[in-house]
């Protein structure tokens, strides 16, 4: 690299790389250089990790994912790997979200073969078909197919290398169709590359895979990313170099200046690799929940209503309260979420001192026991809702968010669960409930809040008995 020239960060800002002693990356680099091209330092480093091998010759990382901001040349690494795989006689499936992207990759790899001295029709055969392109190298027998992803594409076929380009759009339905295509290979590898998802991205697999890698829950898996942990000002030049490894090569400050706009979040995601802390495809978005936030506690009116939810797996129990406000809204707040091993005394102690109109308890794993304990302590009997009432409670919660009749003080624990949830079917009549999108987030926290909200909406003020003589 030039001595006085500034280059982008050549090493990932965050990575999970398994230990290894050997890598086949140099074979791929040598082939790539036959095209007259040279790879960047960061690309070489990435390829070395991706093509790492164990003592038995198997890939160290059976799956590898990486995320890099746009226009840095992330697919170039894929082409190097695919060129090598063709020479080794492997079967490759290269998938993309758009037909245009899939076709562009086909044209790029075909050009690299030609630049390396291979002749179409003599050394290899290429077939152009809309979303179904194919290249076969005669001498090695290596074959690569380029396709756009569908929920059924790839079923019944076998490959050694599966490439998921534009991985931020990779859906669970597509994964179900494609993940088994490499099962029969003696040494399979799946590589996913993309950028962090934007609000219009449809995929969740890439985000889920990243989470599993970062939390050490993925086996034989590697991950690398160039990103910022928090959003940065769009004019922060140091952040440009921090997150864009190709700065100083084909990417420069002038090019980034030309793309700057008004959308700061989009700049942080697309150019700085920022991963939003909330899930973009949550049934309840961060904005929808944030719009209900109040900076100061509103004037409360009447008694509390209590929602208690025992988790589906019987591990935790959560309790929330709600109360009407002077403005006609319902204020909700989580009291706590604890392990069922702690018993119910903390709930009983709260109810003994609280002025409440109603208590709703849901969850077959603990509602009967708690109801009996309340009876033993001479507390008013709780409501144990039916399935129909639970469906009504979930619908009421959704409507309350849309109609902005709910308000809250932005408790971090509740916000995290609410903005990372999705709907699940209940019953056979189109009813729904909610479930968490991540295993480490307990949906019972939100369920208790929505039960409290529903109870508040259905509570009737006590009528003071008047006696006339």
Q: Residue 464 pLDDT more than 50?
A: no
Rg of the chain over all Cα atoms, to the nearest angstrom: 28
Q: Residue 447 pLDDT more than 70?
A: yes
Predicted local distance difference test score (pLDDT) of residue 23: 98
Q: Residue 202 pLDDT more than 50?
A: yes
What is the rounded average pLDDT of the residues 180-207? 90
Predicted local distance difference test score (pLDDT) of residue 438: 79
Cα(418)–Cα(290) distance, integer angstroms: 11
pLDDT (tens digit per residue) in 269-308: 999 999 976 555 678 988 999 999 999 999 999 999 999 9
Q: How many CB atoms lie within 10 A of CB 98?
A: 14
Kindly give, in sequence order, each residue whose CB lies less than 8 Å from that of residue 428, ignoring residues fewer than 6 positions away: none
Nearest to 243 by CA among 5, 4, 7, 9: 9
In the structure, what pLDDT confidence band is assigned to residue 131 with cuts at 50, 70 and 90? Answer: low
Predicted local distance difference test score (pLDDT) of residue 172: 86
Predicted local distance difference test score (pLDDT) of residue 5: 85
What is the rounded average pLDDT of the residues 89-114? 95
Nearest to 287 by CA among 413, 178, 399, 418: 418
What is the rounded average pLDDT of the residues 181-196? 96
In the structure, what pLDDT confidence band is assigned to residue 469 with cuts at 50, 70 and 90? Answer: very low
Q: Does domain 14-270 have CATH number 3.40.50.300?
A: yes
Q: Residue 1 pLDDT more than 80?
A: no
Which residues are bridge partners to 16 per DSSP? 223
Task: Give the β-pairing of 63-67 and 189-194.
Answer: parallel
Task: Give the β-pairing of 189-194 and 161-164.
Answer: parallel
Predicted local distance difference test score (pLDDT) of residue 465: 46
Predicted local distance difference test score (pLDDT) of residue 393: 96
Which pair of tokens denotes residue 438? 């991540």
SS (H, E, C) the chain: CCCCCCCCCCCCCEEECCCCCEECHHHHHHHHHCCCCCCCHHHHHHHHHHCEECCCCCECCCEEEEECCCCCCHHHHHHHHHHHHHHCCCEEEEEECCHHHHHHHHHHHHHHHHHCCCCECCCEEEECCCCEEEEEECCCCCEEEEEECCCCCCCCCCCCEEEECCHHHCCHHHHHHHHHHHCCCCCCEEEEEECCCCCCCCCCHHHHHHHHHHCCCCCCEEEEECCCCCCCCCCCHHHHHHHCCCECCCECHHHHHHHCCCCHHHHHHHCCCCCCCCCCCCCCCHHHHHCCECCCCCCEEEEEEEEEEECCCCCEEEEEEEEEECCCCEEEEEEEEEEHHHCCHHHHHHHHHCCEEEEEEECCCCHHHHHHHHHHCCCCCCECCCHHHHHHHHHHHHHHHHCCCEEECCCHHHHHHHCCEEEEEECCCCEEEEEECCCCCCCHHHHHHHHHHHHHHHCCCCCCCCCCC
Ramachandran bin of 410, using left for φ above 0, alpha for ψ from -120 to 50, beta for the remaining angles? left
Query: Do 426 and 292 form a contact (C-beta atoms < 8 A)?
Result: no
Lowest-pLDDT range of 109-113, 170-174, 191-195, 343-347: 170-174
Predicted local distance difference test score (pLDDT) of residue 460: 62
Task: Give the β-pairing of 132-137 and 143-148.
Answer: antiparallel
Predicted local distance difference test score (pLDDT) of residue 198: 81
Predicted local distance difference test score (pLDDT) of residue 129: 74
b/e map of 351-372 (b: 16 or more CB within 10 Å)? beeeebbbbbbbbeebbeebbe
pLDDT (tens digit per residue) in 64-78: 999 999 999 999 999
Q: Domain limits of the chain?
A: 14-270, 286-458
How confident is the prediction for the chain on average, in pLDDT? 91
pLDDT (tens digit per residue) in 369-397: 999 999 999 999 999 999 999 999 999 99
How many CA within 13 A on the CB side of residue 184? Answer: 9
Q: 């769009």: which residue's tokens?
A: 234
Lowest-pLDDT range of 21-30, 167-176, 252-261, 344-353: 167-176
Q: Residue 137 pLDDT more than 70?
A: yes
pLDDT (tens digit per residue) in 211-248: 899 888 899 999 999 999 889 999 999 999 999 999 99
Q: Which fold has domain 286-458?
A: Nucleotidyltransferase; domain 5 (3.30.420)
Which pair of tokens denotes residue 35? 């095209």
Cα(176)–Cα(213) distance, integer angstroms: 19
Q: Residue 463 pLDDT more than 70?
A: no
Q: Is the pTM of this model over 0.75?
A: no
Predicted local distance difference test score (pLDDT) of residue 451: 98
Kindly give, in sequence order, each residue whose CB lies less than 8 Å from that of residue 111, ignoring residues fewer than 6 positions away: none
In the structure, what pLDDT confidence band is assigned to residue 265 with cuts at 50, 70 and 90? Answer: confident
């Amino acid at each position: 690299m030039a001595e006085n020239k500034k280059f982008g960060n050549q090493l990932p800002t965050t990575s999970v790389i398994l230990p290894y002693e050997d890598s086949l990356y140099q074979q791929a680099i040598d082939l790539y250089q036959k095209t007259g091209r040279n790879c960047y330092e960061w690309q070489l480093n990435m390829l070395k990790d991706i093509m790492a091998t164990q003592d038995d010759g198997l890939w160290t990382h059976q799956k590898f994912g990486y995320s890099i901001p746009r226009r840095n040349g992330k697919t170039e690494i894929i082409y190097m790997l695919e060129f090598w795989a063709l020479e080794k006689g492997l079967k490759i499936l290269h998938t993309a979200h758009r037909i245009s992207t899939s076709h562009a990759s086909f044209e790029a790899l075909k050009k690299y073969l030609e630049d390396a001295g291979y002749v179409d029709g003599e050394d290899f055969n290429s077939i152009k078909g809309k979303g179904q392109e194919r290249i076969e190298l005669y001498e090695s027998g290596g074959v690569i197919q380029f396709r756009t992803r569908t929920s059924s594409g790839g079923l019944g076929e076998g490959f050694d290398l599966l490439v998921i380009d534009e991985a931020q759009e990779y859906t669970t339905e597509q994964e179900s169709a494609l993940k088994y295509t490499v099962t029969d290979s003696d040494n399979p590898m799946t590589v996913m590359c993309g950028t962090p998802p934007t609000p219009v991205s449809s995929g969740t697999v890439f985000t889920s895979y990243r989470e599993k890698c970062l939390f050490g829950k993925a086996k034989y898996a590697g991950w690398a990313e160039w990103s910022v942990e928090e959003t940065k000002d769009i004019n922060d030049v140091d952040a440009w170099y921090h997150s864009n490894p190709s700065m100083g090569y084909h990417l420069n400050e002038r090019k980034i200046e030309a793309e700057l706009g008004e959308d700061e979040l989009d700049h942080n995601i697309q150019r700085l690799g920022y991963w939003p802390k909330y899930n973009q495809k949550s049934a309840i978005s961060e904005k929808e929940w944030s719009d209900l936030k109040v900076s100061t506690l509103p004037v409360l009116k009447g008694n509390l209503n209590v929602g208690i939810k025992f988790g589906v797996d019987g591990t935790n129990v959560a309790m929330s309260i709600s109360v009407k406000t002077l403005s006609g809204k319902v204020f909700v707040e989580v009291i706590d979420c604890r392990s069922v091993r702690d018993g119910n005394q903390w709930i009983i102690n709260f109810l003994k001192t609280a002025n409440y109109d109603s208590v709703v308890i849901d969850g077959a794993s603990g509602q009967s026991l708690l109801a009996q304990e309340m009876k033993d302590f001479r507390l008013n009997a709780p409501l144990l809702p039916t399935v129909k009432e639970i469906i009504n409670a979930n619908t009421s919660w959704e409507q309350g968010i849309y109609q902005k009749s709910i308000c809250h003080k932005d408790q971090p624990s509740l916000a995290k669960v609410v903005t990372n949830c999705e709907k699940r079917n209940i019953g056979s009549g189109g009813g729904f409930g909610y479930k968490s999108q991540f295993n480490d987030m307990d949906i019972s926290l939100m369920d208790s809040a929505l039960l409290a909200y529903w109870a508040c909406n259905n509570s009737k003020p006590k009528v003071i008995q008047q006696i006339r003589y």
